[in-house]
Amino acid sequence: KQEVTQIPAALSVPEGENLVLNCSFTDSAIYNLQWFRQDPGKGLTSLLLIQSSQREQTSGRLNASLDKSSGRSTLYIAASQPGDSATYLCAVRFSGTYKYIFGTGTRLKVLA
Amino acid sequence: GAGVSQSPRYKVAKRGQDVALRCDPISGHVSLFWYQQALGQGPEFLTYFQNEAQLDKSGLPSDRFFAERPEGSVSTLKIQRTQQEDSAVYLCAIPQLSPGTGELFFGEGSRLTVL
């Protein structure tokens, strides 16, 4: 069964820390992987998309890496800020499918 | 989210009522997804359309759930005889048209509460 898992489920850090969010998936045959941010009561905002052929993508203070062989992706957030507080979701589109399968997310709280 | 409008944003229904949730993507999008997100969980796939064709409805939880996209644009998710376990946020998503990377964009969702 194709599954996506995110660890940790929740994370609380002081402002300014660099942090890593983890996403693992059960099948290395993927089409792409997407990281989202979700604020309470809001929809999902796309952060980064990594295609199967790519190893990483960067946007500002965010860097996402992909290691298909080990079934892992990490989202690195540099110099965290209170405004980064949100739930971060990882979604995988496995090869041969249209749909994205989501992890349960990591709830991040950055303390001022 | 830019490109996808969902309505209503909030819906309260009494158990047993029928509800209809609407997704209105900007024009030109062939593909359209519906997801269900329960409180504290990640979104769960419900169904997928290419134009008016419903290619995958494997995620619909029961035969009380029905989705349509008759003209290949606006889509409606209908839930008949709502139950408390149907309470969730229902999200509509479309993939980026250009450059066609497959990046998925979501609407703000419709939050359904069944009393």
Quick: pLDDT tens for B24-51. Answer: 998 778 899 999 999 999 999 999 999 9
- What's the Cα-to-Cα distance from A99 to each of A89, A92, A108, B9, rounded to whole Å? 15, 8, 26, 24
Cβ separation A43–B104 shorter than 8 A: no
What pLDDT sits at residue B97?
Answer: 66
Q: Which of B104, B111, B112 is most worth mutating to test chain A (most A CB atoms within 10 A of its CB)? A: B104
pLDDT for B13 beyond 80: yes
- Report CB contact under 8 Å: B45, A31: no
Q: Which residues does chain A have with pLDDT short of 70?
A: none
Task: Count Cβ neighbours within 10 Å for each residue of B21-59 and write b for 16 or more, e otherwise.
Answer: bebbbeeebebbbbbbbeeeebbbbbbbbeeeebebeeb
Candidate from B33, B91, B102 with C-beta closest to A31: B102
**Assigned token pair, B43:** 């979104």
Q: Say what the pLDDT of residue B99 is.
A: 61
Which pLDDT belongs to residue B100?
65
How many CB contacts within 8 angstroms connect chain A with chain B? Answer: 62
Residue B2 predicted with pLDDT over 70: no
Does A104 contact B42 at a Cβ distance shorter than 8 Å? yes
Quote the CA–CA distance of B105 and B29 in Å, as a whole number: 11
Does residue B5 have a pLDDT over 80? yes
Q: Do B108 and A42 touch (CB under 8 A)?
A: yes
- Residue A98: per-residue pLDDT: 87
The whole-angstrom separation of Cα A105 and Cα A4 is: 10
Chain B residues touching A32 at Cβ < 8 A? 101-102
Q: Does A10 touch chain B (CB under 8 A)?
A: no
List the end-to-end C-alpha distance of chain A, in Å, as a whole number. Answer: 41
Query: Taking CB atoms and an 8 Å cutoff, what residues of chain B touch A105?
Result: 41-42
Q: Rounded to whole angstroms, how far apart are CA atoms A54 and B34? A: 27
Asked if the Cβ–Cβ distance from A32 to B101 is below 8 Å, we say yes
- In this predicted structure, what is the pLDDT of residue B82? 98
Percent of chain B scoring above 70 in pLDDT: 95
How does residue B69 score in pLDDT terms, banded at 50, 70 and 90? Answer: very high
pLDDT recorded at residue B44: 97
Q: How far apart are CA B27 and CA B16, in angstroms?
A: 34
Pairing of strands A4-7, A19-25: antiparallel
Tell me if chain B has a CB within 8 Å of the CB of A49: yes
What number is the average pLDDT over the span B89-108?
85
In this complex, do A44 and B33 lie within 8 Å of one another by their Cβ atoms?
no
Q: Please give the average per-residue pLDDT across B42-69, as a whole number.
A: 96
Among chain B residues, CA nearest to A49: B103
